[in-house]
Amino acid sequence: MIRRVIAAATLAMCTCATAAACGSDKGPQANAPAIAWSEQVCKAIDAGAAKLSQLPAVDPSNPQAAKDSLVVYLGSLSDALGGVSEGLKTAGTPPVTDGQAALDKAMTTVTTTRSTVDTAKTKLQAAPVTDTVTFQAAISDISKVMSQLTDNEGPAKDLKSNPELATAFASAATCQRVEGA
């Protein structure tokens, strides 16, 4: 009788130990502060993306109107990038190992992209629509900028290069909805 009790107790302990071992391996855990930080950043990225998706109405038969629309759009694009930059600054340093390095890289991406957009806008503003060569060169610059923007994952890519932030981005609800985050 005692042997059966000991055998049953041993079997129960082995079963519990096995179940506990299986249940405790949940892989890498995102920390709550990193998820909250990522959520804040993705909200800023989402707000910027909303502005980027509002494409200008361009009438190719009216070069001046096309130019004016593109100048306004580039200004809006620059403002959106400024908003993302402010969102990153407001969020502060990510609460993860090497968070400052990831933030610095993301800020450099945003700053460089915004500078490129501003340069294209300035060239377009200065290009007279009556000088087709200069005007077409400015339009070509804008095409290159737009291509870079659509091919670029932006600051989210830089931030997600940090494994802890990648896990946090994957866990943050807004980041899951935002394309490129």
Residues whose CB is less than 8 angstroms from the CB of residue 159 and which lie 6 or more positions away in sequence, other chains included: 38, 41, 94, 102, 103, 105, 106, 165, 169
User: Token digits for 86?
Assistant: 């402010």
Instruction: Compute the mean pLDDT over every residue in the chain, rounded to the nearest whole number.
Output: 81
Residue among 115, 152, 162, 139 at smallest CA distance from 56: 139
Number of other CB atoms surrounding residue 78 within 10 Å: 19
pTM over the 0.85 mark: no
pLDDT beyond 80 at 31: yes
Q: How confident is the model at residue 30 (pLDDT cuts 50, 70, 90)?
A: low
Which CA distances in Å does 144 have to 2, 33, 111, 116, 117? 82, 38, 17, 10, 10
Chain center to CA of 50: 13
The H-or-E segment that residue 44 falls in is helix 32-52
Tally the residues of the chain.
181
* Residue pointed to by tokens 């992209």: 113
Q: How far apart are CA 175 and CA 172, in angstroms?
A: 5
Summarize the confidence of residues 155-170 as an average pLDDT: 94
pLDDT (tens digit per residue) in 78-121: 999 999 999 999 999 999 999 999 999 999 999 999 999 999 99
Residues whose CB is less than 8 angstroms from the CB of residue 172 and which lie 6 or more positions away in sequence, other chains included: 35, 36, 38, 39, 42
DSSP-derived secondary structure letter, 154: T
Domain map (residue ranges) of the chain: 30-55+74-177
pLDDT beyond 80 at 133: yes
Q: How confident is the model at residue 18 (pLDDT cuts 50, 70, 90)?
A: very low
